[in-house]
């Protein structure tokens, strides 16, 4: 058996707001060559020829074309800030002075009373160890012993391009520059290497992890050559300019890597399909009269299908008529068609909100050719973002896929303000909006009708999901202000699935047995679902050792490997995929014949969704669940990893709204540090912050996440001299701490001082860096927010929030209990009448599922029958020994209970605590019981201590 799982093992692509990784891990891009910041290098031999140094050209004499940086900046600055700051060449030596003066104008325009000469006290003179524009040592002879290299600073997680060179030397000579980074890789089909190179040189905007763990992709499909195989493709639509532009390389190419290639190919594949006259004519007909007949003609012309499936026509007609609609269709029933067809018909843009990048990429790939699409994710470079924006503004895109986190980004929202009409917002996996759903995501919480109407002027909303209880549906309808009459709901489990369950004391052996006997032995495509990432690898290896070829799939694997597994599976080259829940969303393989649940699903919703991957072609398919109570206890334990104590909540709120944090100013909370300090998981912190923004009383305005701690290195001018010319540097010098001889400061604090945004601070630093004056390093990704109102009653607020979180936790546990109760009923309670026989329980499972989804909170009476052990006679004594033997740690009752259950938490991570003798020892005892026992013991001990 594998060792007890902990948070890091699990994987549910967002199915838990807690212990599991919601989405694929972000892949770090390798550090790129830095434009000016120099590196200390060994002296060249005195005999060697002096190499020409790169000298900045005086601005007045420069005749060269504008730098790529400036060209890109012109595209990329919605506020015109870049243009103002860098109106004179940023490459010139005088650039810092020039940009400083325009920056000064910016600051004064924001803050008319601001007087830079009096706003700050004179900057403290730099301590002697400050590397203030120290002249670079003369080049060393090549055979001389190399000088000690200053320690290289590790690239900050969120801004890989900002790796500073620690030494204050001028830029190195171009010719002898050592290789600083991996050579740039350009997509073989790159349309324009020049523009690709420009993109490479571009310093990047720092990003936090605000959009989940998305990998970085060129999701706009640049860097490939457009081939017109079909003459009809060329002639047709109003979107032609977009295609020609790209073919001509007018749209810059991003640097290619394997992931980009993968997406580019997906887009190419889509475009090859072409557009026909029949489609255009059919669209015109529907615009004139959206009758069933015309819509079916369009369906035939565009997709080749003869008729709509159940629910599709009604949903499409509603949307085309501008009526917001909630659509619940089983997996594989064809929900995508319900936004694609309206996107062809409606005049404006269709925005599709999707929870996972991989899902967006799949959906983008599946868009028909006549629907030009694009994608915006946080992992994109600012070039890619601005290129997409250009296409949007030019009306060259009909469908845009975005992650829910985009709605935090003002720059994104501004694209649509007044100019770009959005005809439809389609929210995929809409159940993520509801905290009562099986897959709640805090970032979905912000998707309210008020935001969509107010900020985006959206004309219609289509919410789509495959599974939702009545309570979840009510919440979605409320949040999106969809009239309940516009709920279109089909039965949630397909009739062609044979469902069976058996108890298992030895799941591995039983799995082998299952796979080697009928009906699974004859199947070509089977998915085995596991709960934890480590489990998938382990099970996969076991299958392979037993001559069953299998591959594992989970979100911890590199994107490339995942795509490969999916590809091989779809082309029937792998028979068995052992996967976490990450496998399946967007998987459109119609002939999966079997689904085996090696681990108990966390809810009936999850069970339906995963079994729904089988038999999408309508043929009889089989789904089997291996039930063991050990897994149930483990998963149930993990459900307690999100809970927060009222005490911790109130301390957290006091810090958020502390007197240092003024109303109206930008505040920040470093994610990792805050999470550890209050022992609250990062996802839960985000949930609390979102709740403070969208609750009855709006306390804060949430900003995108940002790396807020900046370390500054000066290279040319001394800090004081630069501060005289540049008010931002002046503010920095005033607000910095000296660490290791460098200036370290908090970006929000500078932004507040100068009354500008954090992006504006960052843009200005970039300008100075580009002129060779400075380099900088960013770290500490933080939640950023502006306080709108401080709470009047902290205690009441923390009590409310704690109660709400505890209800969410209970709801999650109830869902798991309902799943367990159903499985238990099938194997123990079912009388095997009415069609059930042996381990086959399709009728009774279907009946229970109907009951579950019919009830308001999705639970049934049998849920309470879940038998957790009562307290153990040794519990109290063990807790006492545990606390006493770890007296160095500051325990709360919750922390003790988590350790006894083997649950990792930010302050008590499994890496440290799983070695403890008591780790996971009481996993079968009810969590609240352990908390109570721990509380009693802690009170006793603190009484003795006094
Ligand atoms: N009216 C139709 N006739 C025939 N096939 C259809 C029809 N509508 C959709 N399909 C096909 O059904 C398949 C599944 O569609 P789609 O991916 O949109 O399902 P879905 O409901 O979004 O599934 P999931 O919940 O898994 O994302 C696709 O291959 C699609 O082309």
**Is ligand 1 within 6 A of the CB of residue 334?**
yes
Residue 189 has pLDDT above 60, yes or no: no
Residue 160 has which token pair? 């890989």
Compute the distance between CA of residue 40 and CA of residue 51 in angstroms, rounded to an integer. Answer: 16
Separation of first and last alpha carbons in the chain: 46
Residue 44, pLDDT score: 35
**Cα(463) to centroid(ligand 1), Å:** 16
Which of the four pLDDT bands, split at 50, 70 and 90, describes residue 693? confident
| CB of 129 sitting under 6 A from ligand 1 | no
Is residue 545 predicted with pLDDT exceeding 60?
A: yes
Q: For residue 261, is pLDDT > 50?
A: no
Q: Is the CB of 332 under 6 A from ligand 1?
A: yes
For residue 26, what pLDDT band results from cuts at 50, 70 and 90? very low
How does residue 268 score in pLDDT terms, banded at 50, 70 and 90? low
Which mutation among 331, 332, 617 tests ligand 1's pocket best, with the greatest number of atoms within 8 A of CB? Answer: 332
Residue 418 pLDDT level (bands cut at 50, 70, 90): low
Q: What is the pLDDT of residues 552-562, one digit of tens each?
A: 999 888 888 88
Read off the pLDDT band of 857 (50, 70, 90).
low
The DSSP output letter for 550 is E
Distance 336 CA to ligand 1 centre (A): 6
Q: Give the CA-trace dihedral at 207, 211, 217, 219, to 10 degrees.
A: -120
Nearest partner of 216 among 268, 161, 174, 287, judged by Cα: 161
- Examine the pLDDT at 451 and tell me if it is beyond 90: no
Q: Is 300 in the pocket of ligand 1 (CB under 6 A)?
A: no
Per residue in 320-368, pLDDT tens?
Answer: 999 999 999 988 888 999 999 999 999 889 999 988 887 888 888 888 8
Highest-pLDDT range among 29-33, 63-67, 896-900: 896-900
Give me the mean pLDDT over the 667-689 stretch.
93
Residue 190 has pLDDT above 80, yes or no: no
Q: Read off the pLDDT band of 118 (50, 70, 90).
A: low
What pLDDT shows up at residue 652?
95
C-alpha pair distances (Å), 608 with each of 463, 514, 605, 625, 852: 19, 21, 5, 12, 12
pLDDT of residue 453 exceeding 60, the answer is yes
Q: Is the CB of 335 under 6 A from ligand 1?
A: yes
pLDDT of residue 12: 36
Residue 355 CB contacts under 8 Å (≥ 6 apart), including other chains:
14, 22, 23, 212, 403, 404, 428, 429, 432, 441, 444
- Reported confidence tier of residue 149, pLDDT bands at 50, 70, 90: very low
Angle (CA) 628-632-638 rounded to 5° is: 150
Candidates 234, 243, 228, 189; CA nearest to 372 is 243
Looking at residue 170, its pLDDT comes to 36
Is the entire prediction scored with pTM above 0.90?
no
Chain segment 644-653, per-residue pLDDT in tens: 988 899 999 9
């Amino acid at each position: 058996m594998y060792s007890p799982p902990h948070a890091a093992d699990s994987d549910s692509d967002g199915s838990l707001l807690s212990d599991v990784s919601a989405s694929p891990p972000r892949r770090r891009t390798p550090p790129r060559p830095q434009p000016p910041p120099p590196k200390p290098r060994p002296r060249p031999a005195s005999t060697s020829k002096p190499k020409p140094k790169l000298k900045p050209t005086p601005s007045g004499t420069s005749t060269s074309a504008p730098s790529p940086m400036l060209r890109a900046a012109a595209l990329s600055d919605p506020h015109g800030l870049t243009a103002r700051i860098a109106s004179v060449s940023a490459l010139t030596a005088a650039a810092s002075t020039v940009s400083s003066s325009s920056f000064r104008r910016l600051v004064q325009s924001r803050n008319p009373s601001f007087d830079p000469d009096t706003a700050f006290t004179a900057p403290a003179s730099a301590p002697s160890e400050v590397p203030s524009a120290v002249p670079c040592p003369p080049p060393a002879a090549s055979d001389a012993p190399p000088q000690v290299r200053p320690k290289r600073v590790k690239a900050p997680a969120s801004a890989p391009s900002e790796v500073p060179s620690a030494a204050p030397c001028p830029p190195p000579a171009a010719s002898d520059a050592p290789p600083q980074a991996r050579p740039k890789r350009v997509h073989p089909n790159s349309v324009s290497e020049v523009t690709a190179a420009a993109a490479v040189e571009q310093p990047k905007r720092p990003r936090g992890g605000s959009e989940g763990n998305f990998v970085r992709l060129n999701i706009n499909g640049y860097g490939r050559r457009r081939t017109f195989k079909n003459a009809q493709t060329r002639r047709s639509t109003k979107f032609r300019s977009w295609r020609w532009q790209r073919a001509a390389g007018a749209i810059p190419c991003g640097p290619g890597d394997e992931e980009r290639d993968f997406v580019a190919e997906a887009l190419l594949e889509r475009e090859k399909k072409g557009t026909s006259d029949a489609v255009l004519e059919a669209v015109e007909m529907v615009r004139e009269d959206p009758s069933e007949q015309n819509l079916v003609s369009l369906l035939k012309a565009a997709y080749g299908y003869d008729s709509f499936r159940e629910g599709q026509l009604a949903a499409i007609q509603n949307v085309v008529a501008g009526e917001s609609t909630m659509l619940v269709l089983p997996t594989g029933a064809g929900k995508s068609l319900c936004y694609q067809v309206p996107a062809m018909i409606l005049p404006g843009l269709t925005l599709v909100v999707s929870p996972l990048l991989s899902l967006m990429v799949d959906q983008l790939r599946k868009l028909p050719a006549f629907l030009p699409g694009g994608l915006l994710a946080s992992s994109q470079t600012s070039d890619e973002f601005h290129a997409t924006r250009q296409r949007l503004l030019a009306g060259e895109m009909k469908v845009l896929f975005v992650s829910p986190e985009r709605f935090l980004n003002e720059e994104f929202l501004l694209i649509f303000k007044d100019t770009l009409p959005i005809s439809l917002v389609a929210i995929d996996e809409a159940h993520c909006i509801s905290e009562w759903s099986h897959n709640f995501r805090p970032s979905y919480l912000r998707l309210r009708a008020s935001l969509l109407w107010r900020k985006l002027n959206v004309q219609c909303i289509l919410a789509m999901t495959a599974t939702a209880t009545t309570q979840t549906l009510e919440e979605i309808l409320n949040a999106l202000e969809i009239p309940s009459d516009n709920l279109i709901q089909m039965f949630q489990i397909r009739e062609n699935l044979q469902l069976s369950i058996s108890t298992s004391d030895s799941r591995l052996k039983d799995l082998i047995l299952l796979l080697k006997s009928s009906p699974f032995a004859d199947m070509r495509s089977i998915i085995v679902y596991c709960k934890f990432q480590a489990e998938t690898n382990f099970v996969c290896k076991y299958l392979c050792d037993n001559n069953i070829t299998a591959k594992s799939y989970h979100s911890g694997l590199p994107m490339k490997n995942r795509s490969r597994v999916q590809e091989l599976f779809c082309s029937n080259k792998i028979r068995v995929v052992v996967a976490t829940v990450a496998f399946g969303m967007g998987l459109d393989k119609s002939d999966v014949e079997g689904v085996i649940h090696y681990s108990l699903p966390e809810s009936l919703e999850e069970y339906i969704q995963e079994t729904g991957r089988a038999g999408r072609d309508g043929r009889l398919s089989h789904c089997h669940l291996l039930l063991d109570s050990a897994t149930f206890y483990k998963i149930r334990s993990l459900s307690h990893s999100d809970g927060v104590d009222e005490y911790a909540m109130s301390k957290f709120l006091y810090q958020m709204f502390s007197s240092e944090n003024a109303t109206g100013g930008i505040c920040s909370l470093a994610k990792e540090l805050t999470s550890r300090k209050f022992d609250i998981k990062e996802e839960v912190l985000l949930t609390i912050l979102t709740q403070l923004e969208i609750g009855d009383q709006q306390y804060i305005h949430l900003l995108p996440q940002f790396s807020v701690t900046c370390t500054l290195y000066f290279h040319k001018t001394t800090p004081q001299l630069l501060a005289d010319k540049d008010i931002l540097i002046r503010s920095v010098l005033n607000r910095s701490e000296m660490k290791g001889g460098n200036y370290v400061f908090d970006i929000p604090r500078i932004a507040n001082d100068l009354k500008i945004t954090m992006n504006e601070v960052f843009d200005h630093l970039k300008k100075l860096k580009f002129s060779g004056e400075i380099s900088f390093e960013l770290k500490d990704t933080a939640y950023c927010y502006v306080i709108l109102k401080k709470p009047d009653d902290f205690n009441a607020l923390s009590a409310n929030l704690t109660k709400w979180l505890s209800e969410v936790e209970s709801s999650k546990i109830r869902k798991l209990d309902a799943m367990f109760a159903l499985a238990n009923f099938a194997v123990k309670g079912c009388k095997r009448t009415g069609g059930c026989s042996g381990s086959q329980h399709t009728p009774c499972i279907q009946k229970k599922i109907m009951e579950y989804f019919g009830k308001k909170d999705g639970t049934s009476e049998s849920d309470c029958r879940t038998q957790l052990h009562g307290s153990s006679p040794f519990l109290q004594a063990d807790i006492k020994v545990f606390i006493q033997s770890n007296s160095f740690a500051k325990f709360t009752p919750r922390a003790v209970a988590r350790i006894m259950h083997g649950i990792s938490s930010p302050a008590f991570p499994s890496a440290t605590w799983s070695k403890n003798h008591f780790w996971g020892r009481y996993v079968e005892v009810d969590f609240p019981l352990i908390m109570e026992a721990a509380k009693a013991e802690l009170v006793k001990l603190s009484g003795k201590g006094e």
